[in-house]
């Protein structure tokens, strides 16, 4: 048992007491969804980011991925703000997509990024906020703070790039779309432009640190809007609209693996292959994976797999 300190010395070394009638302040969180990205949208930061995107990021992307872009005609009649929603297979997806957007969208867009990955360190939060205009979002649940921030930016004429899957694909097939894009589109009354990136996973897959130069295809689809209420129907809800967004991305993926006509014919028949792939054993999911989504870019040796 330690000897008790003399009373005057104990008063000096003991922590100060807090008045019981005074509420303690809540410590301010500085990372995660609480990270303040306002500075990254100041005029100076925007000019610096524009210079970086146009003179560094775009040339590097075109050297590494040689993107082939289609569907830009769907963007021509659109005015900001717009929500761009699509598949996610690689950390290169954001840079590739931004480099392929017209300048009027590229230089006034924010990117929804996972708060637990891109905003878990001060240096990472500052780097990605400046370089890509990222804002933190909670990917495991709908977090009001993030959605309020994004809704405010959409109201201020900023467009949004979002990957509704919440993270990169672990096996090459898509994952279930979360409801962020549909919810924000409904709340703010803005259109959603579906996009699909083909060929980014072989260049830099999840869990890999090796860059393999390749060829990427970027497709933009028709802008989607919520169906308005009619005499015999209510306004489309966010859940149904979210399903339409995922189906539109699946259509673009089917077009990438076949052709425009065949993909539209399957869409009209309701036989478009789902983004999430077959609900089967891992070996079968791996076997039916398109060559463009394989981690190492290797082709199947025994021919193409049959549709499931």
Does the residue 7 lie in any domain? no
The Cα 191–Cα 221 span in angstroms is 12
Mean predicted confidence (pLDDT) in 98-107: 94
Q: What is the pLDDT of residues 278-295, one digit of tens each?
A: 888 888 888 888 888 887
Does the residue 300 lie in any domain? no
> Helices 238-257 and 180-188: crossing angle, nearest 10°?
120
Pairing of strands 134-137, 109-114: parallel
The Cα 41–Cα 304 span in angstroms is 47
Does the residue 9 lie in any domain? no
Closest CA to 153 of 190, 101, 115, 121: 190
What is this structure's pTM?
0.85
* Statement: residue 306 has pLDDT above 50: no
Higher pLDDT, 304 or 7: 7
Domain extent, residue 250, equals: 32-293
- Whichever domain contains 36, its CATH number is 3.40.1130
Q: How many domains does the chain have?
A: 1
pLDDT at 147: 84
Q: What is the pLDDT of residues 166-182, one digit of tens each?
A: 888 888 888 888 888 99
Does the residue 1 lie in any domain? no
CA of 12: how far to CAs of 107, 134, 183, 254, 279, in Å? 57, 47, 56, 73, 67
Does the residue 261 lie in any domain? yes
Lowest mean pLDDT among 63-77, 217-231, 282-296: 282-296
Higher pLDDT, 29 or 165: 165
Does the residue 299 lie in any domain? no
Does the residue 280 lie in any domain? yes
Pairing of strands 159-162, 134-137: unpaired
The Cα 224–Cα 248 span in angstroms is 9
Q: Which segments of 78-168 does DSSP mark as H helices, in order?
A: 93-100, 103-106, 115-118, 122-132, 144-155
Does the residue 98 lie in any domain? yes
């Amino acid at each position: 048992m330690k000897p008790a300190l003399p009373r005057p010395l104990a008063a000096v070394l003991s922590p100060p007491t807090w008045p019981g009638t005074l509420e303690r302040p809540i410590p301010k969180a500085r990372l995660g969804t609480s990270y303040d990205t306002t500075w990254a949208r100041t005029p100076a930061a925007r000019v610096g980011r524009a210079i970086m995107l146009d003179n560094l990021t775009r040339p590097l992307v075109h050297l590494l991925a040689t993107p082939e872009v289609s569907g830009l005609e769907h963007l021509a009649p659109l005015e900001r703000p717009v929500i761009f929603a699509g598949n996610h297979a690689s950390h290169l997806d954001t840079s590739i997509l931004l480099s392929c957007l017209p300048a009027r969208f590229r230089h006034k867009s924010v990117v929804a990024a996972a708060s637990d990955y891109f905003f878990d360190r001060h240096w990472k939060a500052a780097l990605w906020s400046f370089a890509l205009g990222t804002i933190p979002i909670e990917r495991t649940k709908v977090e009001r703070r993030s959605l309020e921030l994004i809704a405010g930016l959409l109201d201020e004429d900023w467009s949004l790039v979002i990957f509704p899957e919440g993270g990169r694909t672990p096996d090459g097939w898509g994952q279930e779309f979360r409801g962020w894009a549909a919810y924000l589109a409904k709340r703010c009354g803005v259109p959603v432009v579906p996009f699909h990136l083909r060929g980014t996973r072989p260049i830099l897959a999840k869990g890999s640190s090796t860059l393999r130069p390749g060829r990427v295809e970027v497709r933009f689809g028709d802008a989607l809007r919520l169906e308005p209420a009619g005499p015999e129907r209510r306004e489309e809800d966010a859940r149904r609209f979210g399903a339409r967004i995922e189906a539109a991305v699946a259509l673009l993926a089917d077009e990438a693996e076949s052709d425009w006509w065949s993909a539209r014919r399957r869409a009209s028949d309701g036989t478009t292959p789902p983004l999430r792939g077959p609900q089967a054993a891992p070996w079968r999911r791996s076997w039916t994976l398109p060559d463009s989504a394989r981690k190492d870019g290797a082709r199947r040796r025994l021919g193409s797999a049959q549709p499931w």
